Amino acid sequence: MMTDHPVIPIQFLPIQAGLAVREGLSEETALRSITRYAAEIVGIADRVGTLEAGKDADIAVFDGHPFGYQTHCVLTLINGKVVHDSRKREA
């Protein structure tokens, strides 16, 4: 799965996965294509791509289906630390 970045920006990768699902790819395979399989292809699957003990704790939490075009990331953790939390309001 790819977006042809920078022609089609990387933020559209989940939409590309959703389009692949619409054309018959299973949701599980689509999700693995942009997580686990991508990490394996670039040689960093020992650190990222799946949620396992000992790997980097890079996690994104969405407010809807991850392939939905109106879905937003509400929480992002990098190495287990919160780097984005849209639920917190600025004072």
The model's pLDDT over 8-43, given as tens digits with 9 standing for 90+, comes to: 788 888 888 989 999 999 999 999 999 999 999 999
More confident residue, 87 or 89: 87
**Do you find a cis peptide bond into 6, omega within 30 degrees of 0?**
yes
CA distance 4 to 78: 25
User: What pLDDT was estimated at residue 24?
Assistant: 97
Query: Please, are residues 3 and 9 in contact by the beta-carbon 8 Å criterion?
Result: yes
Q: Calculate the CA 31 to chain-centre distance.
A: 8
Domains delineated in the chain: 10-85 (2.30.40)
Kindly tell me if the per-residue pLDDT of 7 is higher than 90. no
CA distance 80 to 50: 14
Query: Please, are residues 56 and 45 in contact by the beta-carbon 8 Å criterion?
Result: no
User: What pLDDT was estimated at residue 3?
Assistant: 64
Name the pTM for this structure. Answer: 0.76
